[in-house]
A and B are shown apart, each in its own frame.
Chain A
């Protein structure tokens, strides 16, 4: 158990809908990362937050947005869903989110299926 929790575990929805994925980082970690794992694209970095502020953006679609709240939990919002958004979404956390090679601890993921 990494100490990172994600809810829900599974989500089934229809095209065009909007969903929210939630992540609670390890106690004391200030930085949260979101990754998408799909069969065709593999594991891809979406976005990073540090202590409530956006720090880095990766291959995140404009239909997707995220935020980190004062209690440090984070939410990833996916809207106007398409079939291709079906994937496993991971959240990871690290203590400081600096480029020192610190370990990112991954949650169990949320499996999203868009029908």
Chain B
């Protein structure tokens, strides 16, 4: 079984500050890793994903994430946030090569960007 822990339920930051949203996962098998964003009253939108290759993954809206296999982490970063980045962010894993292609999500991190 796999699980995802998002270490911070809420992260308040000021506009133009850098931000890191932390995600750790637990799995006995290889996984693919995803970050999704959910804006208020909307569905989830993919920010980025790690399948293989370079451990630094770049996504939309200036976000990037780094896969660290030894620490089983996939932290999301942005060097300078905007008010419009205020949203809930979800880290998720998918078992690679299995027959069950579900996403297992963390509980989410609410990022609030203040002026």
Contacts and interface: CB of A to CB of B under 8 A. Distances in A.
A107 B43 CA distance: 6
Contacts, number: 62
Interface in B17-53: 32, 36, 42-46, 49, 51
Contacts of A2: 43, 45
Interface in A83-115: 90, 92, 94, 97-101, 103-109
A46 to B, nearest CB: 9
A56 interface: yes
Given A2-B43, A56-B100, A103-B46, A43 B95 contact: no
A64 interface: no
Given A99-B98, A101-B96, A4 B105 contact: no
A106 B102 contact: no
B interface, how many residues as a size bin?
Answer: 20 to 34
Contacts of A109: 43
A48 B105 contact: no
Interface string B54-80: 000000000000000000000000000
A24 B46 CA distance: 19
